[in-house]
Amino acid sequence: MTVRKIAVLPGDGIGPEIVDQAIKVLKAFEQKLSISFELEYAPIGGAGIDSNGIPLPESTLKLSQAADAVLLGAVGDYKYDDLDPAIRPEQGLLQIRKAMNLYANLRPIKAYKALLHASTLKPEIVDGIDIMVVRELTGGLYFGRPKQREERNALDTMTYTYEEIERIAHVAFKTAQKRGKKVCSVDKANVLATSQFWRDIVEAVHKDYSDVALSHMYVDNAAMQLIRNPKQFDVLLTENTFGDILSDEASMLTGSLGMLPSASLGAENHAMYEPSHGSAPKYAGQNKVNPIAQIMSLAMMLDHSFGYTKEAQLIEQAVVHVLNQGVRTYDIAEPGQAIVGTAEMGDAIAKALLELPAPVSAS
Ligand code: IPM
Ligand code: MG
């Protein structure tokens, strides 16, 4: 049997401890299906700076490019705050996204029934939401040049090419075809040239997808609508910065940023799976944070990169099962509920996975 290799990049802050929980669940998955993956660990972000002096060591990139998929924790820590922005931990993440051409970031936002009361919004507003944010990940303000800081001014550049917009629009429409068949494209076309360009190209690409309904929304309105009536959305298509902001906002619909996984997909089957949240250094090493975003990122990996679509759903079922049992990390607990740590949540999900009936045909 061919060896299937996963590059594991725990990173910084809470990254290592939540990645440990995802690996626990992966081991349970392997046991359940009698399969195995080869794991190889490498440093990124602050861990890369500590070991190799740079946030994305060459060996980490090579390993990731050669692997069938990459599982990433999170990057960043206060202790690097004084470094030149060009070599801070976050650059490791941006560089690996760019170098592997991971231009499509899929961030599913789903309300779990058991957590309806954990959201700061009214249960009837969040009950039933099922949104997929399709965020462009390798363009826009994050990567535009020139980018510079001087004594009395600073400059970032917002730039997009036709091809960059076209390919992410295809991803959004294809994603919508498999879901609710609606795309809402977010922009600021009343002000920005890149947004006017974006809107025109999204319209042009839409001609290939007559079964999908397309609407456009200004980003400020989208931020408001996500809170007012989130159920109106199916696929939300955004450029890089807007998607970064809106996905953090949307995560709160699910009760916690700690619930939100993501898949960053590129050409040539390159793919990296990472929680949408950051490295939360203030909680690092305390066995406190919620590992579910990382565990659900693993489930996305098993589905997208390895074709275990039905089987990966077992991981989600295991998550739902433990949530229904009332197992809660601090971020999703309601007043009076007992709180478990990161490792206990990982244990509970791995155990639930092993105990669920296996799907009939493990492919
Ligand atoms: C995310 C994060 C990153 C981003 C940071 C850590 C660079 O916020 O994945 O959403 O802005 O893309
Ligand atoms: Mg973000």
Q: Which runs of consecutive H residues, i.e. helices, occur in the chain?
A: 15-33, 46-52, 58-66, 89-99, 123-126, 162-177, 193-206, 219-228, 240-251, 292-304, 309-324, 342-355
pLDDT of residue 361: 53
Residues 186 and 310 in one domain: no
Residues 346 and 266 in one domain: yes
Any atom of ligand 1 within 6 Å of the Cβ of 278: yes
CA-to-CA distance for 346 and 73, rounded, in angstroms? 15
pLDDT of residue 119: 87
Residue nearest to atom 1 of ligand 1 (CA): 276
Residues 64 and 142 in one domain: no
Residues 141 and 61 in one domain: no
Residues 264 and 340 in one domain: yes
Any atom of ligand 1 within 6 Å of the Cβ of 12: no
**Nearest ligand to residue 88 Cα:** 1
Residues 130 and 227 in one domain: yes
Residue 67 lies in a domain: yes
Residue 111 lies in a domain: no
pLDDT along the chain (363 residues), means of 10: 92 98 98 97 98 97 98 96 90 97 97 90 94 98 96 98 98 98 98 98 98 98 97 98 96 90 94 96 97 98 97 97 96 92 98 86 48
Residues 290 and 341 in one domain: yes
Residue-wise pLDDT for 261-316, tens only, equals 999 999 889 999 999 999 999 999 999 999 999 999 999 999 999 999 999 999 99
Q: How far is the CA of 259 from the centre of ligand 2 (A)?
A: 14
Q: How many CA atoms lie within 13 A of 56 on its CB side?
A: 19
Any atom of ligand 1 within 6 Å of the Cβ of 16: no
Give me the number of domains the chain comprises.
Answer: 2
Distance of CA 201 to the CA centre of its chain: 25
pTM of the model: 0.95
Q: Do 221 and 259 meet the contact criterion of CB atoms below 8 Å apart?
A: no
Residue 112 lies in a domain: no
pLDDT of residue 138: 98
Point out the domain boundary residue: 254, 269, 288.
254
Residues 168 and 232 in one domain: yes
Residue 234 lies in a domain: yes
Q: String of b and e for 322-336 (b: at least 16 CB within 10 Å)?
A: bbeeebbbebbbeee
Q: Among the atoms of ligand 1, which is closest to the Cα of residue 279? A: 6
**Nearest ligand to residue 248 Cα:** 2
3-state helix, strand, coil in the chain (%, to 5): 45, 15, 35
pLDDT of residue 360: 56
Any atom of ligand 1 within 6 Å of the Cβ of 46: no
CA-to-CA distance for 251 and 254, rounded, in angstroms? 6
Q: How far is the CA of 158 from the centre of ligand 1 (A)?
A: 17
pLDDT of residue 234: 98
Any atom of ligand 1 within 6 Å of the Cβ of 17: no
Q: Among the atoms of ligand 1, which is closest to the Cα of residue 105? A: 9
pLDDT of residue 363: 45
Q: Among the atoms of ligand 1, which is closest to the Cα of residue 137? A: 12
Residues 46 and 139 in one domain: no
Which of 14, 93, 136, 279 maximizes ligand 1 atoms within 8 Å of its Cβ, making it the mutation to test the pocket? 93
**Nearest ligand to residue 245 Cα:** 2
Structure tokens at 226: 């996500």
Q: How far is the CA of 108 from the centre of ligand 2 (A)?
A: 14
For ligand 2, an ion, list residues with CB under 5 A.
244
Q: How far is the CA of 292 from the centre of ligand 2 (A)?
A: 17
Per-residue DSSP letter, 260: -
Residue nearest to atom 12 of ligand 1 (CA): 244
Largest CA distance in the chain: 65
**Closest by alpha carbon to 45, among 88, 4, 84, 7?**
88
Active site residues: 142, 188, 220, 244, 248
Residues 206 and 287 in one domain: no
CA-to-CA distance for 260 and 124, rounded, in angstroms? 20
Residue 246 lies in a domain: yes
Which of 14, 142, 244 maximizes ligand 1 atoms within 8 Å of its Cβ, making it the mutation to test the pocket? 244
The domain in which residue 332 lies consists of 1-105+260-363
Any atom of ligand 1 within 6 Å of the Cβ of 93: yes
Residue nearest to atom 2 of ligand 1 (CA): 278
Q: How far is the CA of 93 from the centre of ligand 1 (A)?
A: 8
Residue 269 lies in a domain: yes
**Nearest ligand to residue 76 Cα:** 1
Query: For the domain that residue 147 is a member of, what is the CATH number?
Result: 3.40.718.10
Point out the domain boundary residue: 189, 224, 254.
254
Residue 115 lies in a domain: no
Angle at the Cα of 178 from the Cα atoms of 173 and 180, rounded to 5 degrees: 80
Q: Among the atoms of ligand 1, which is closest to the Cα of residue 94? A: 7
